[in-house]
Amino acid sequence: MEENARTPLIAGNWKMHKNGKQGAELVRRILELLSPVPGVEAEIVVCPPFTALCQVREVFREGQLPGCKVGLGAQNMHWEQEGAFTGEISPLMLREFGCEYVIVGHSERRILFGESDAVVNRKVKAACENGLRPILCVGEDARQRQEGRTQAVVEKQVTAGLAGLTPAQIDRAVVAYEPVWAIGTGSPATGADAQEVAAWIRRVLQGLAGTGALGTRILYGGSVKPDNIADFAARPDIDGALVGGASLEPESFAAIVQGWG
Ligand code: 13P
C-alpha cells in the first residue's frame, strides 16, 4: 500500500440519543476538552438525530479547533430530493442544515428496517449527487464470521453499496467496517482482525476505482473506547473510527480523538 495521506476521521454516531439542547451541550463540552490540545490532526464528525442538527450546528459555528476540522453528519436519509415520502428526510434538507456527511446502511437500518443493498446503493448515490459524503457501513454478523464468510459478505456490501459511483466519488466516500457482533456489545474486534478486513476492503475498493480509491477512508466501528483506540490507530488501513456509545460522553469521545494521535 502507498503512504497513507488520508486525514484520520473520528465520527460519532449518536443513534437515537440526545435532544437539541443536550446535543449542543455535548458538542460544546467536546470542543472545550479538545481545544487546549494543539494540532490534533484529525477530522471530527458528529451525527446527531435530525432534530438536534440545528442546535449542534450553532455550536460549531461558534467554536473551532486548531488543527482539527469539525463537521456534521446525519444518520440516514431518503434518496429523492423531495416527494410524497411521509416521514423521510432528503439530501437537500440535510445540506440546508450544514451536513457534510451521512451514514448509510448502518447494520441497525439493514436489520431493523429492512434496508437492502439496493436501497443502500440508491442512498449512497443520492448522497454523492447532492454534495454529501456517504459513510457506507458494512460488516458481517457473528454467524457469517463463524462460517468464514466475512470477506465475501463485506465484498458484496461494498461492491453493491458503491455500484455506479465514479472513481472520484468513491475517493470522497467513507467506508465503515462495523462487524455486527461488535456493535454495542463491549467486545470489539481486535486491531489485527479489523486491519485484515480493512485491507480486504481496500483491495475491493481498488478493484472498483483503481488508484482513484486511495483517498477513501476506512473506519472501524464496534465498541470503540478510549482504552482500545490505540490498537486501531496503529493499523495502516484503518483511517479512523465510527463510535457509538462512547460518543455520547464528552470525556470518552475527546479521549478517543486524542488517542488517535
Ligand atoms: P458502539 O460504539 O456503541 O458499539 O456502536 C458502534 C456503532 O454502531 C457506530 O455506528
Beta-carbon contacts of residue 25 (< 8 Å; ≥ 6 apart): none
Q: Is the pLDDT assigned to residue 77 strictly greater than 80?
A: yes
Listing DSSP states for 3-28 in one string gives ---PPPEEEEE--S---HHHHHHHHH
Q: Is the pLDDT assigned to residue 39 strictly greater than 70?
A: no
- Ligand 1 contact via 222 beta carbon (within 6 Å): yes
In the chain, DSSP finds a helix count (H) and a strand count (E) of 11, 8
Q: Is the backbone of residue 37 left (phi > 0), alpha (psi -120 to 50) or beta?
A: beta
Mean pLDDT score of the chain = 94
| The pLDDT value given to residue 37 | 61
Instruction: Give the mean model confidence (pLDDT) for residues 218-226.
Output: 98
- Pocket perturbation via mutation, ligand 1, pick of 45, 224, 229, 232 by most ligand atoms within 8 A of CB: 224
Q: Is the pLDDT assigned to residue 201 strictly greater than 90?
A: yes
Instruction: Give the mean model confidence (pLDDT) for residues 79-83.
Output: 98
Q: Which residue has the cell 443536550?
A: 22
Neighbouring C-beta atoms of residue 167, cutoff 10 Å: 16
Q: Which residues are catalytic?
A: 106, 178
State the chain's maximal CA–CA distance in angstroms: 50
DSSP 188: P
Q: Is the pLDDT assigned to residue 5 strictly greater than 90?
A: no
Q: Is the pLDDT assigned to residue 67 strictly greater than 80?
A: no
- Ligand 1 contact via 179 beta carbon (within 6 Å): no
Cα(82) to centroid of ligand 1, in Å? Answer: 30
Domains detected in the chain: 3-16+41-260 (3.20.20.70)
| The pLDDT value given to residue 2 | 45
Q: Which residue has the cell 430530493?
A: 81
Residue 193 grid cell: 482482525
Percent of the chain exceeding pLDDT 70 equals 96
Q: Which one of 1-10, 55-64, 95-104 scores highest in mean pLDDT? A: 95-104
Q: Is the pLDDT assigned to residue 38 strictly greater than 90?
A: no
Residue 192's pLDDT band (boundaries 50, 70, 90)? very high
Distance CA 2, CA 178 (A): 24
